[in-house]
A and B are shown apart, each in its own frame.
Chain A
Amino acid sequence: MSQRPSTLHGLGAEFPSASALLHAAEKIQSMGFRRWDVYSPFPIHGMDHAMGFKRSRVSLFSLLGGITGLSTAFALIYYTSAINYPLIVQGKPYFALEPSMPIFFELTVLLTAFGTIIGLLLLTLMPRLHHPVFNWDRFKRVTDDGFFLVLEATDPRFDPDSSRKLLTEIGGTYISEIHHDPELDPHPARPEMEPAP
């Protein structure tokens, strides 16, 4: 069935509902698959748990952004008002915490937002305009009302025949091979796949 095994990205299956996809994901996860993903028009409650995800690390980037923002604000105000050009305005101290609070707050928020968005882009590897799943014609419905599960060929437990059977057993329909576009994708799957244990 695989005339060009080197271009096989994985096997995709469609599921009728969010609930069916969640149950399928629980089974795939319990079987020890590692390189697979589910695709849905909206985030499904409980899916992170079903796929065994830990907490997203976006918050770490937000925290780094926030710390950078706060220290930038402090350095900026202190350096400009108290060191580089101390200037008496209305008899107020060169530097004090109270009037600095609004700028501390605003720059912290601003750089937290930047940190969050940078973290999101790094962790989701976006922007990535091309991906093998887009080669599957049914996949267009993922942003409408389609629920999909894709087992990737690089997973050690992947086997074209038994994985296809597995997807049918857990309720998948329209099971299809998804292929890389060799001209566009610089990282094709390994030509030799390890057999499923």
Chain B
Amino acid sequence: MRAGDASAQAAFAKASDYLERQPLVANHRPLSWITNHVCRIVEQPAPLWWWVSTIIFGAVAALTPAMLTYLVATGVGVWGLNVPVCWAWDITNFVFWIGIGHAGTLISAILFLTRQKWRTSINRSAEAMTIFAVICAGIFPAFHVGRIWFAWFLFPIPNANAIWQNFRSPLLWDVFAVSTYFTVSLIFWYLGLIPDLASLRDRATTRFRQMAYGLLSLGWRGSNRQWTHYEKAYLILAGISTPLVLSVHSVVSFDFATSVVPGWHTTIFPPYFVAGAIFGGFAMVLTLLIPFRELYGLHDLVTDKHIDNMCKIVLLTGSLVGYAYSMEFFIAWYSGNPFEIYAFTNRAFGPYWWAYWSMITCNVVAPQLFWFKYCRQNPWVVLAIVMFPNTGMWFERFVIIVTSIHRDFLPSSWGYFSPTWVDITLFIGTIGLFVFLFLLFVRFLPMITMFEVKNVTPEADPHHPDEHAGHRQHGNNSQPAKAHA
């Protein structure tokens, strides 16, 4: 009996080692450590690498206005677009960037509603990424209209032509979806920033910083009469952002799905686009967070567990995307429609075969490495792997857009699209703009949501059993620390 008890106890101890949740803030850091550790990024002089990279990416970002000026001054023909390929890199880049934004809203809204507490240390930077990605995305449709000075025709403003927008067109839905998405993301992001801006205000050592962060934090004082409304507002914004984020990429996919072009006219598009957006977005979150975590020593806040979780989401959504690719082929064959079958055969084995197989390799094959724990636990391996989805999701949009229209119904009008130097330079410019804006963000705003991270520490739980003495021993996130009791 005794021996049986002992072995059962040993088995229990072993099991509870596995079962005990890893703390969300490693090393049981106290509240003030979190404030200090996040605020010092903003408060201390910028390190040399920040100046070097900001100047480099700022210079690359300057290519964006340069190329746009050239485009407006010369005409939209400086892009390689021509019949039959009238949408190519412009719309590819638009869908690519807008998709990246989706991970930010997913982390801030959907993971909030599903009470995934690990989101707290990554949501701020992911939401910032969303906003910058949507800024990069908006450039392309705005300028692809050709005569940018008429872009206001997109909005229902009474005008001398006395003609209104065509509300039956998915392109107009897109205008509303993307502008709503940007505005709501910005409001949600700013709402989350208010208490943390107040932290920066209260720590300010110069009058200028005190004034600037004081104005931005709207006089926040952390009173419970404020928190009660704040939490409600945050919950409602999370609640409406959840269907919003699902709708945005669905509406983007309607641009294609409501047409009659084989390869575009597919009912699978909305969920397929949303899964792809989350996939590409999480890959980009990891791409940005892993280097900044190293550079700023944020290992206790963005723990290996966070990276592990994100890798699993990349694996899941990557597999969903792979399923969608195969289902498209199945439906093309099953439809018996020769045009549909040709569009998909042409995708994989036609002149753009290289883009298709790059897409498959990057989006379906590479993420499968995340089945292995070694790959998820080693940040540099993760960084190397997520570069594949980053590239692959761009190829996915290129494949969908260009391979579907370069060979349409009349073989006499078939063509082959090649980008011009303006296409390529403008895309590089938006990558520069994206990273440049992110570098400014980490320098001037708290890149980790301090108040939410504090809220998932054991100290924050008012019913924590040993709040005064023992909270350093157990790091169970906001659960009573009794795993070994």
- Say yes or no for B95: interface residue by CB 8 A criterion: no
A124: interface (CB < 8 Å): yes
Task: Name the one of A20, A48, A77, A126 contacting B228, with C-beta atoms under 8 angstroms.
Answer: A48
Known interface pairs A37-B223, A102-B176, A144-B203; 6 further A-B residue pairs with C-beta atoms within 8 A, sorted by A's residue number: A48-B224, A85-B162, A99-B168, A113-B188, A142-B222, A145-B35
Is A143 touching B228 in the complex (CB atoms < 8 A)?
A: no
Q: How far is the CA of A18 from the CA of B460 in the complex (A)?
A: 6
Pair B215/A129 contact, Cβ less than 8 Å: yes
Looking at A16, A76, A134, A144, the one whose CB has the most chain B CB atoms below 10 A away is: A144
Q: Which residue of B lies closest to A92 (CB)?
A: B168
Would you call B463 an interface residue if the criterion is a C-beta within 8 Å of the partner chain's C-beta atoms?
A: yes
Docked pose: A131 CA to B195 CA in angstroms: 16
B124 within 8 A of A: no
Q: Are A113 and B237 in contact (CB under 8 A)?
A: yes
- Shortest A179–chain B CB gap in Å is 16
The residue from B187, B214, B247, B451 contacting A41, defined by CB atoms under 8 A apart = B451
Mark out the residues of chain A between 104 and 119 whose CB falls within 8 Å of any chain B CB in the assembled complex: 105-107, 109-110, 112-114, 116-117, 119
The answer to whether B247 and A105 have CB atoms under 8 Å apart is yes
Expressed in whole angstroms, the minimum distance between the Cβ of B115 and any Cβ of chain A is 12
Are the C-beta atoms of B460 and A42 separated by less than 8 Å?
Answer: yes
Name B's interface SS. Answer: helix
Q: Is the beta-carbon distance between A145 and B226 smaller than 8 angstroms?
A: no
Q: CB distance A19 to B31 under 8 Å?
A: no
Q: What is the CA–CA distance of A85 and B163 in the complex, to the nearest angstrom?
A: 7
Which single member of B35, B215, B219, B224 contacts A47 (CB below 8 Å)? B224
Indicate if B47 sits at the interface (CB-CB under 8 A): no
Residue B166 lies at the interface, judged by CB distance under 8 Å to chain A: yes
Interface residue? B351 (CB, 8 A): no
* Chain A interfacial positions (CB closer than 8 Å to B): 16-22, 25, 37-48, 51, 53, 55-59, 62, 76-77, 80-81, 84-85, 87, 89-90, 92, 96, 99-100, 102-103, 105-107, 109-110, 112-114, 116-117, 119-121, 123-124, 126-131, 133-134, 139-145
Main secondary structure of the interface of A (DSSP, over half): helix
Chain B interface category by residue count: 35 or more
Q: Which B residue sits closest to A121, measured CB to CB?
A: B218
Whose C-beta in chain B lies nearest to the C-beta of A118? B233
CA distance in complex: A130, B220 (Å): 10
Question: A100-B167, A102-B251, A144-B202 given as contacts; is B183 within 8 A of A113 (CB)?
Answer: yes
Q: Say yes or no: A77-B219 contact (C-beta < 8 A), given A22-B462, A48-B228.
A: no
The complex places the Cα of A100 from the Cα of B214 at a distance, in Å, of 43
B232 at interface by CB-CB < 8 Å: yes
In the complex, what residues of B have CB within 8 A of residue A133's CB? Answer: 221, 223
Interface centre among B30, B173, B183, B225 (most CB of A within 10 A): B225
Known: A37-B223, A80-B167, A142-B202. A102 touches B254 (CB 8 A): yes
Cα separation A89 to B156 with both chains bound (whole Å): 17
Report yes or no: B251 in contact with A39, Cβ–Cβ below 8 A.
no
B227 in contact (CB, < 8 A): yes
Which residues on A sit within 8 Å (CB–CB) of B162? Answer: 85
Q: Are A106 and B180 in contact, with the CB atoms below 8 A?
A: yes
